[in-house]
């Protein structure tokens, strides 16, 4: 079960709409992700690569920002092991309920769920990695999340963001594909 929200009541209409949408999608979220995979979007390979890029060790603490149903938890478990700690943060209670079911089914005792707007989330003082997969484009204050997360990271540790929002502006639209291929 998710812990109580760390933020005040949400008054952002965008957040309210997002919560409403993901409450409706929560039960089908994993199946829809599987359908995207069969349609050719190889998100699982991207997820694996992102998690490997965190360079986590056994016993590390990692925060999964916008964890949804906990799709990345099994891959994170492989990295941090049973003595490590995974903290899943999500805005939507229904997504966290699905994540809690995943945790119970796999009998993981090292996963904590936090029901919070990630922009208001207070990171633990010691963090060995932060992951966000396909979530930060939905957060208007993404820069605050990145700044706060970076401040919580241990020296030399990583904040990995996997997302698909195209950069804005003529130059970045032309440069991004070139930078991505190098």
Rounded to whole angstroms, how far apart are CA atoms 145 and 158?
A: 14
Q: What is the pLDDT of residues 38-74, one digit of tens each?
A: 556 567 788 899 999 999 999 999 999 999 999 999 9
User: Domain-by-domain residue ranges, the chain?
Assistant: 13-181
Rounded to whole angstroms, how far apart are CA atoms 178 and 164?
A: 15
Residue 118 clears pLDDT 80, i.e. is over it? yes
Of 75-84, 121-130, 153-162, 173-182, least confident by mean pLDDT is 173-182
Q: What is the pLDDT of residues 89-111, one digit of tens each?
A: 999 899 999 999 999 999 999 99
**Angle 48-133-26 (CA atoms, 0-180°, nearest 5)?**
110
- Give the pLDDT band of residue 9 (cuts 50, 70, 90): very low
pLDDT at 182: 41
Residue 174 clears pLDDT 70, i.e. is over it? no
Q: What is the pLDDT of residues 134-152, one digit of tens each?
A: 888 888 889 999 999 999 9
**Would you tell me how many other CB atoms lie within 10 Å of the CB of residue 82?**
11
Mean pLDDT, the chain, integer: 83
Would you put residue 173 in left (φ > 0), alpha (ψ -120 to 50) or beta?
alpha
Homologous superfamily of 13-181: Vaccinia Virus protein VP39 (3.40.50.150)
DSSP one-letter code for 3: B
């Amino acid at each position: 079960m998710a812990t109580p929200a760390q933020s005040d009541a949400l008054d952002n209409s965008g957040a309210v709409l997002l919560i409403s949408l993901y409450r409706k999608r929560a039960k089908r979220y994993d199946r829809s992700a599987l359908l995207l995979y069969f349609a050719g979007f190889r998100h699982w390979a991207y997820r694996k690569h992102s998690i490997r890029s965190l360079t986590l060790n056994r016993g590390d603490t990692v925060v999964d920002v916008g964890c949804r149903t906990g799709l990345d938890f099994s891959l994170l478990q492989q990295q941090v092991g049973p003595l490590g700690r995974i903290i899943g943060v999500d805005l939507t209670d229904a997504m966290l309920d699905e994540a809690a079911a995943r945790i119970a089914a796999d009998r993981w005792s090292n996963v904590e769920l936090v029901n919070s707007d990630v922009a208001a989330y207070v990171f633990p003082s010691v963090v060995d990695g932060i992951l966000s997969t396909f979530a930060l484009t939905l957060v208007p204050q993404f820069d605050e999340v990145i700044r706060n997360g970076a401040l919580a990271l241990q020296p030399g540790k990583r904040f990995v963001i996997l997302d698909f929002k195209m950069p804005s502006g003529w130059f970045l639209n032309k440069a991004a594909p070139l930078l991505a291929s190098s």
